[in-house]
Structure 1
Amino acid sequence: MEIKKVSKYFWSVMRKSLIIYYSICMLFLLLSALFTINTKGEVTISGGEFSTVIFSFVAGIAMFKEIFHFIKANNISRKTFLIGTALSIIPISGVMSIIDIIINRLYNLFTKSPTIYDMGFTDYNIVSGMLGEVWVQQNDIITIINTFLFQMSQYLMFFALGSAIAMIYYKCNKFMKIVVSISPVMAIIMISVYMYNYPYIANKITRFMEYILGINPNNVYAPILTFIVSFVLLTGVSYLLIRKMVVKEK
């Protein structure tokens, strides 16, 4: 019953953001269609669903505090909070992926609009590099299912990442927030230095990253699995962060 309560509240909060977000997407679709007609279809819009990845990440950050205060006000356990949130974001991510596929196919009625999946796991790059060849988006059932799963798994992972980051910031004082903010930059610098000084290990890491992201060999199911596993791990990290979290004043 409590999980259902969390899910209903989560959906009520998320619904408003989704309506605003997809209203903007449809407006952009209309404006793009008009612009494309005026330019005789010479414009290419690629990877438009990446905006939903950003939306998922921001939603994960923005929604945590409000929902956390809700569960504490209603004496709901932290474990129930995470389960209810996870059970809510899974179908919502699926719905977002379906909507993004529909929007993308509408884009392709006016101009070339390859998805990230198209550019990474179909013949888009090969055809685009051939003179005189025109890329045509594939709409077979396998392409649709793979696109759906690829997008949905991304949305899940980035929402969980946003939530985990929001929890880290929530637990930190002002000084630690600064440390957390600059830590990604410092980590990138340290990794770059390490990879420069140890090229053999860097090559191993690069090959491993290419494998789990489906770059080499080209395999869409590798990143799908990677994103899903990352979602589960980040949810676990979130539980460790929230387990003894003290409620702060709004």
Structure 2
Amino acid sequence: MNILPSYRYQMADHKKSILIFYVVIVGLSLIFGFSTTLIINGNDAAVHGSTSGNEMATVIFLFVVGLCTFKETFLISLQNGVSRKTLFTAKLLTMLSVAVIMAMIDKIFFLLYAAALSITNSQVTASTFYEALYPSSTAGAGPLMLHAESFFFEVLLALAAMAAGYFITIMFYRLSKTGKVIVGAGVPVLFLMAIPWADQYFLNGKITIALVKLILTAVNTPSHMAVTCLLAIVVFNALAFTLMRKAVVKQ
């Protein structure tokens, strides 16, 4: 079957949630920006403030979207004769489209917000999440290059988040009721209690040290973060498709 109808359906399925998200973001940003400006500008001391873009809010939102966009679409697609391969290919295109569109909206929103702060001579400065995360790497970058890098940085983060959420929701769909309880309760207990306890009392913190080193290596530079995101996108999507190929209809 043609991929386009499935792609259009999945894109339409995201419209309402994305609209609600940005209504909330704009409202919160206006309230926060206005109140912060009043506090800082009303202070006699030379106080300055800064705000960052809402990129991480978008990434978290898209992770949740990934968690909530499998079962209904999967069942409707199978009922209409859409193959799993077509459904998954359309999903990949949808994730890419949503990530790019929302990154563009975030960038436009950030530029408008920064311009408004400049016009009002506010002592509040705006910076992207990318700048806040990698200040040394972005210090000498020109505005055009900086915004281009932060745009692609957000797209990669968003794609990785959606891929992770999509894999998790398919995994839980495939699990039995008992399996869902075991994984849902067991994994948090294992990583938040059992492993830290064993690491502290038997391994002298070696697991924690290794994990911290791994995380720092994965995210300490923009290029490392980009590679990490790309690996996450490939791995999570490959696992998701593997699970989807054998998924059956469940009510």
Same fold (TM over 0.5): yes
Query: Does 2:236 align with 1:243?
Result: no
Which residue is equivalent to 1:173?
A: 176
Q: 1:102 to 1:187 in 2, by over 3 A?
A: farther
Gaps of 5+ in 1: 125-135
Q: 2:207 and 2:60 mapped to 1: Cα distance?
A: 32
Gaps of 5+ in 2: 42-47, 118-123
1:84 alignment partner AA: A
TM-score, normalization by structure 2: 0.83
Q: 1:182 to 1:115 in 2, by over 3 A?
A: farther
Task: Judge which range, 136-145 or 238-247, deviates more.
Answer: 136-145
Which residue is equivalent to 2:213?
A: 207
Which residue is equivalent to 2:235?
A: 233
Instruction: Select 1:192's aligned residue among 177, 193, 196.
Output: 196
TM-score, normalization by structure 1: 0.83
Which residue is equivalent to 2:29?
A: 29
1:154–1:227 contact (8 Å) kept in structure 2: yes
2:66–2:162 contact (8 Å) kept in structure 1: yes
Alpha-carbon distance, 1:202 to partner: 4.7
Superposed CA RMSD in Å reads 2.6
Query: Does 2:108 align with 1:112?
Result: no
Q: 1:191 to 1:141 in 2, by over 3 A?
A: farther
Report the 3-state secondary structure (helix = DSSP H, G, I; strand = E; otherwise coil) of the residue aligned with 1:75: coil
Report the 3-state secondary structure (helix = DSSP H, G, I; strand = E; otherwise coil) of the residue aligned with 1:159: helix
1:167–1:241 contact (8 Å) kept in structure 2: yes
Q: 2:11 and 2:3 mapped to 1: Cα distance?
A: 12
Report the 3-state secondary structure (helix = DSSP H, G, I; strand = E; otherwise coil) of the residue aligned with 2:224: helix
Q: 1:96 and 1:191 mapped to 2: Cα distance?
A: 37
2:55–2:106 contact (8 Å) kept in structure 1: yes
Alpha-carbon distance, 1:7 to partner: 0.8
Q: 2:190 and 2:157 mapped to 1: Cα distance?
A: 23
Q: 1:83 to 1:194 in 2, by over 3 A?
A: farther
Q: 1:246 and 1:25 mapped to 2: Cα distance?
A: 38
Q: 2:28 and 2:197 mapped to 1: Cα distance?
A: 42
Which residue is equivalent to 2:109?
A: 103
Which residue is equivalent to 1:220?
A: 222
Q: 1:47 to 1:184 in 2, by over 3 A?
A: farther
Alpha-carbon distance, 1:209 to partner: 2.2
2:135 alignment partner AA: T
Alpha-carbon distance, 1:138 to partner: 7.0
Q: How does 1:121-140 map to 2 (within 5 A)?
A: 121-123=134-136, 140=143
Q: 1:39 to 1:60 in 2, by over 3 A?
A: same
Report the 3-state secondary structure (helix = DSSP H, G, I; strand = E; otherwise coil) of the residue aligned with 1:63: coil
Alpha-carbon distance, 1:210 to partner: 1.1
- Percent identity, aligned pairs only? 24
Report the 3-state secondary structure (helix = DSSP H, G, I; strand = E; otherwise coil) of the residue aligned with 1:23: helix
1:146–1:220 contact (8 Å) kept in structure 2: no
Q: 2:125 and 2:140 mapped to 1: Cα distance?
A: 8
Which residue is equivalent to 2:73?
A: 67
Aligned pairs, number: 235
Query: Does 2:61 align with 1:55?
Result: yes
2:147 alignment partner AA: I
Alpha-carbon distance, 1:79 to partner: 1.5
Alpha-carbon distance, 1:201 to partner: 5.9
